[in-house]
Amino acid sequence: MISNIPKWMIGLFGNKLSPNVKVVETTFLSPQVKKVSFQGDVSDWDFTIGYASVIRVSETEFRNYTVAHYDKENGVFDIIFHIHGNGAGSKFIEGLKVSDELFISPPRGKKLYETNKQQQFFFGDETSLGVACAWLPLLKKNQQQFQFYFELDEINKSVPERLALENYTVFPKNNSFRNEKWISTLPLFQTQEWNTANIALVGNVKSVQVFRKVLKDKKQGSIYSQGYWLEGKKGL
Ligand SMILES: Cc1cc2nc3c(=O)[nH]c(=O)nc-3n(C[C@H](O)[C@H](O)[C@H](O)COP(=O)(O)OP(=O)(O)OC[C@H]3O[C@@H](n4cnc5c(N)ncnc54)[C@H](O)[C@@H]3O)c2cc1C
């Protein structure tokens, strides 16, 4: 879905974009990362890893976010938001409180996960903590070997621990993932074992592009990638 729909066109959707979920809990995991629990009818939603929902963040604007946990029976699900302070989405989510009602679409989009690979590698940032949380139980259930890499601002570096993520390494967000030479020295490239891994790269578009190029040059892994945000660009 596009991130901005003209007002005249919104009318054509009738009440399809009206509030369908309610906020039941909010928690700040750091000053910039907010977990929000929602309640609604999610009985026929498809929570495939990598799929995202669009949230209506103003009369005409929509942004993509990933469901981190869900409980179909009780109709509740959580989303983990990066409150970066720059956009309509971030500002809307920052203000969300218990009992607020809003529109969230069923998840759809791009798969990130090839189930038959024993080694699973994931790279992301604050925007990707939700998909990592959604993925972890599946990796454990399938007894796969996995490794998460996160580039995070200093203020958010303890969030993976608060989310009970496992096998993760936190890197400072200092443009290291824009440096091909530095990326090629990462432990991922030091053992043969990871040569045929499933590799999921999400988060900042530029970091994803550079990381992907290094992997391609080394002909390493089956790569699934999707940029979640780009400096200076509204909605992706
Ligand atoms: C498939 C998919 C799944 C996603 N899942 C999540 C999720 O679970 N949680 C989550 O927080 N985000 C997620 N995102 C990213 C989120 O949609 C973007 O960050 C979006 O741009 C936020 O909208 P906004 O209105 O806050 O900022 P926009 O209006 O889109 O952008 C305004 C300015 O803010 C900057 N900006 C946008 N995002 C960030 C950021 N994270 N850090 C710093 N600057 C930023 C832009 O570059 C731009 O300059 C996902 C994106 C995709 C495509």
* Domains defined along the chain, listed by start: 7-108 (2.40.30.10), 112-229 (3.40.50.80)
C-alpha distances out from residue 21 to 36, 68, 98, 110, 201, Å: 12, 16, 11, 23, 30
* Mean pLDDT estimate for the chain: 94
> Would you say the CB of residue 231 lies under 6 angstroms from ligand 1?
yes
> Would you say the CB of residue 90 lies under 6 angstroms from ligand 1?
yes
Nearest Cα residue to atom 38 of ligand 1: 229
Cα 87 to Cα 158: distance, rounded to the nearest angstrom: 24
Q: For residue 2, name the pLDDT band (cuts at 50, 70, 90).
A: low
Mean pLDDT along residues 204-219 = 94
The one-letter code for the residue type at 152 is L
- pLDDT exceeds cutoff 60 at 1: no
Angle at 129 between CA 124 and CA 209, to 5 degrees: 15
Q: Could you report the per-residue pLDDT of 117-155, keeping only the tens digit for each?
A: 999 999 999 999 999 999 999 999 999 999 999 999 999
- pLDDT exceeds cutoff 90 at 17: no
Are 221 and 120 contacting, i.e. CB atoms less than 8 angstroms apart? no
- Residue 175, pLDDT score: 94
Burial class (CB in 10 A: 0-12, 13-18, 19+), 62: buried
> Would you say the CB of residue 18 lies under 6 angstroms from ligand 1?
no
> Would you say the CB of residue 205 lies under 6 angstroms from ligand 1?
no
Nearest Cα residue to atom 21 of ligand 1: 235
